[in-house]
Chain A
Amino acid sequence: MVNVTLDHVTKIFGKVRAVDNVSLKIKHGEFMVLLGPSGCGKTTTLRLIAGLEKPTSGRILFNEEDVTYLPPRARNISMVFQSYAVWPHMTVYENIAFPLKIKKYNEEEIRRRVKWAAELLKIEELLNRYPHQLSGGQRQRVAVARAIVVEPRVLLMDEPLSNLDAVLRVRMRSELKKLQRQIKVTTIYVTHDQVEAMTMGDRIAVMNEGKIMQVGVPREVYYRPANTFVAGFIGSPQMNFIEVTVKTEGEKIVLDAGSFNVPPPKGYDRVLDKYLGKTLILGIRPEHIYVGDYVPSNVKVVTLNGKVDFIETLGSDTILHIGVDDTIIIVKVPGEVHVRVGDNVKIHLNEDAIRLFDKHTGKAIT
């Protein structure tokens, strides 16, 4: 049972606040993903947990034990590196057995455990090879086997899939997740890939500029982003952001986007009083907009008239760039659509999926 707690952790390199007052609780057996763009501090956070860096301030706890200033070797953790860091001067067997040898397991126990890890990762037949005789994917498996063989308290992974080719990456994604469920080790996984984060994480901590922007289960960060950063970072293509002004039209409140009005989405009508006359950001995901005449009957929509500006055909999906006056709205529809550039089309914004953000703070309005 290991809970990892980051308590107001800050790390400053020179003048850069790489990690800025981060507090985070990771529960035992949880698969926590640190997600963010490069340079957001996610890898530094991981290295702080590993003990490869010491924080400028704040504490790191494993359960109640303060490990902030313990060297990595005293923390009983494992790590999978982005470059795998499988030692080239040792065979696969020696690589996997290394952590066990240092922890002074007896010869038989070492053999048993290496066999167990190798079987789990399907690399039994590679045990006598040297790393340079392996493919990238195989080396990665060795790195994972080495990391789990000691049954660590915490398993840390730093973009372990980013050097694999696309097909292998998708396969390893599910394999790693299954493996983690099987051995139930508290896992902290760093990635910049939102698909990895969404598919693998029990919870996701989205980071930007050293700060945690939102922590939540994948559904939550996708459907209820806490701010414009999270809203924009998660989802592909990016969420549409439209500036709107809160106005009254007779008795009703409307969101004025310049050339068109949007009625306040469900649940927002009461809170919007406070924002009268102010500018907000309306966010709607491309996949939450319908095109043409078909709209599912139980969905409330806001309908706008637009003109097709550009079409990207992806096969499984089609991305339409639709100009509503001078605003371009990106729409993602499954399969193919029979429209051409220049066509006039109706688009329907799913009202439930509309999110509103404060323009200045970027925070979601609820």
Chain B
Amino acid sequence: MPVQVITGNHAAGYALSVAGEANRTARGVACGIYPITPQTEIVEYVAKFPFSKGRVVPVESEHSAIAVSMGASMSGARAFTASSANGLAYMAENFMVAGYYRLPIVMVAVNRTLGPPWNIWADQGDTLMLRDFAWLQFYCEDNQEVLDTTLLAFRLAEDQRILLPVLTCMDAFIVSHTQTETALPEQTDVDRFLPDLDLPHRMHYDEARTLGGLAWPHEGLSMRLEIDEAMKRVPDVYQECRESFTDIFGRDPGDVIQRFGTDDADLVIVASGTMATTAREVVRRRREAGEKIGLVKLKMFRPFPDVALREACQSATRVAVLDRNYAAGAGGIFWQDTRAAFQGHRDDVLIQNYLTGLCGGDVTPAVIDEILADLTARAEAGDPVWMGIETGRETLQ
């Protein structure tokens, strides 16, 4: 398949477009879009794409962008959109509605710091803010993974056993605006990979129905449980989709977690996004020097792959969880879910949180080395460690 030097945004726009085009044999594509740095090139791409059936609707805000996508999805069209940071925040009101309606929408998010203060650089806090709302979430480390995962997302979302929307994420600028060689699949192969969308609860002109109307407590409870059951089916369905993808495109899109050197690792780094790329290089170097160290890259964050994570850390005694995000009053978000996954199963493991790369900081190999030095020297796990800044001083006089 042709390889081009393109940005992560270009890769995402391409994936969304060819996926939408693949539904031309059914209800086609329709969606709402709105730009925000650093995602703008994605919506520019899809806005220019010559869809055979359906159209992209530029609207006046993110709130409307997802609303239009939801309406499109409800009527059976393949729908997608893209956003970032405060744009996602503006979408928030409709975001969980898409999840609770079980609409198979795919959104590409470029992880950017939520302001204030005003900051356009990489931080995962924006998509993590929305982690509770019945969307699947995937964190990608490079262009190819963004493209592949986005295509995979449609297959996964639209599977009748899942029927939940999917978020694919990439770090602002580091992936979104960096040009690297990326393989672009042909439309014909995408057509094979993505069957026509057949939404069981789609709206029909001649069939009156209500979606999401008033529900009594027990009905609401059932609907929440229904979502949980769908979430629980994701790991298995993911594997099926992954096999099909590998088969058709000749490339493995990757497992929900990706292990490097973890089989015999004593120290394990848990990371996501481009931090995982950097951590992998450090791990590779140290393993060559004989250290028993491994990397777990968390690709899927929702549903949280606790079983796979515990499996990967079987031999670990110490785990460093890297978070390019911060939940005020609690700490890193990947760390919280990691601790919860180990609780009661592996209480012997020392799990330490490292907050690094927040607000766009550059996570270099030197930082990883510092983290490993701290992890090694610890007697016990403590509060999240803030990398790259002094802590402990009073801020208010």
Q: Do A and B come from one complex?
A: no
Which A positions have Cβ atoms within 8 angstroms of B? none
